Each structure stands twice: as structure tokens, then as C-alpha cells.
Amino acid sequence: MREIVLDTETTGFDPESGDRIVEIGAVELLRHVPTGKTYHQYINPERSMPQDAFEVHGLGDDFLKDKPVFKDIAEDFIEFVGDAKLVIHNAAFDMKFLNAELGWVGKPHLDWERAVDTLAIARKKFPGSPASLDALCRRYGIDNSARTLHGALLDSEILAEVYLELIGGRQPDFGLAENAAPVTQAAGSNDQGRVGQRPTPLKPRLTDAEEKAHADFISGMGEKALWARFS
């Protein structure tokens, strides 16, 4: 299962009022494990940066003026995310902006069903508790000391760690859930989940010489050796 942990920075709160995306950062997970593949892009919003937005992420007009516009990076972004699930903190905000930008350049929208909202997961798991990214970092002991300002790639990297904790830690199913067969009750047994013995025991794989060598090695360890309890 491929997932993309994603974050954006913008000029404000509402694309319908003329606000634009100025940065996208994303981290790839495969079976809940970071692959090391990332996507990061600064974007020229083709408008001035409001002061209150600048104070959040520190991306000003001078820095962004020579960056590509969204139209020029749209294909690379679409190719990176592919058809993966999109893990986003407060997904409604980022999805609204991404779909607005994609629509303006004639690209298909991202399906809302693809979004996994970590804010909603946190609020359900810890009702009544703060659920900001910083609060979740404190709860899980995740180092966010480099987060002096919001930054899309750094925030997505931190969010990836938070997300894995929210769903139960790294590799919550160890990749076994998709292929694991259900445990069935052995015939004639009243114990739930106990697997019956093989009708025919497997043949030993050790040769006589290997068994003798092992026995000689154990005997040389003395009577108090741990192995002596099992020999």
C-alpha cells in the first residue's frame, strides 16, 4: 500500500478569494514505511504575500518571484502522488487548495475519498485534547525543534512520524495482514486458536554428524550451561 504524506503552504485561507499555494512538500510511505522518496516545490503565487501569511511560513515575494508557477509543476506533482492515499493534517484545507489549483490549469481534481485526515484521527483518538501537529509531537515525543516556521516538506516529514504513531506505530501490521490466513480451531479441540499437530511429523534436517557435533559442543559447556536444561 502506497501513501503520500502531504502538506502545503499558502498565501491565505481561501482560494476562491484569490489565495494560492506557495509550497508543496510530500513524503512517500510504502506499507507504512518511509521510502526516502520526497517531493518538494516552491511556487510563484503570481500575487503579493500578505504579512500574516509571511509570518507563518517566511516565504516572501522576493524569494518566490523566480519560482515556477503551478501550471509548470502540475504534471510532476500529479505523477508523484499517482493514485496513492493522501495523508494530510486538516485535509479539507489542503485538498481545497490543491483542487482549486488543478482546476485552474485544466487538470482533474483529486478525489476527496483519497484523503486520510490525521486531524480527524487525532480528535477521535484523543477527544477534547489539543490535536495540532505540535501538540501531537509533544504527545508522542517526536522532535520538532527544527519547526521554527511552517515548511511544507519538514511538516510532511514530521506528520509522517505522527501518522505512524496514530495508527499504532511503525509497521502496525508488519505487512502480514494482507496475506495472513485465518487461524482455525483444530478438529476435536475446545481451545480457540490452537493449531493442531501435523499428522506426520517432519523429518529432522540435521545429519547424524551435525547432531553429534552439537552434542559435543554442549557437553563442553559444563553442567551449569543454559543449554544443558534442554538437552
From 89, 109, 150, 214, the catalytic residue: 150
Task: Respond yes or no: is residue 150 known to be catalytic.
Answer: yes
Dump the DSSP string for the chain.
Answer: -EEEEEEEEESSS-GGGT--EEEEEEEEEETTEEEEEEEEEE---SSPPPHHHHHHH---HHHHTTSPPHHHHHHHHHHHHTT-EEEETTHHHHHHHHHHHHHHTTPPPPPGGGEEEHHHHHHHHSTTS--SHHHHHHHHT---TT-SS--HHHHHHHHHHHHHHHTTSSSTTTT-TTTPPPP-PPTT--STTPPPPPSSPPPP-S-HHHHHHHHHHHHTT-TTSGGGGT-
Residue 225, C-beta contacts closer than 8 angstroms, at least 6 positions apart: 218
DSSP string, 125-138: HSTTS--SHHHHHH
Contact 122/128 with Cβ under 8 angstroms? Answer: no
CA dihedral 26, 29, 34, 38 (to 10 degrees): -30
Q: Which amino acids are annotated catalytic? A: 150
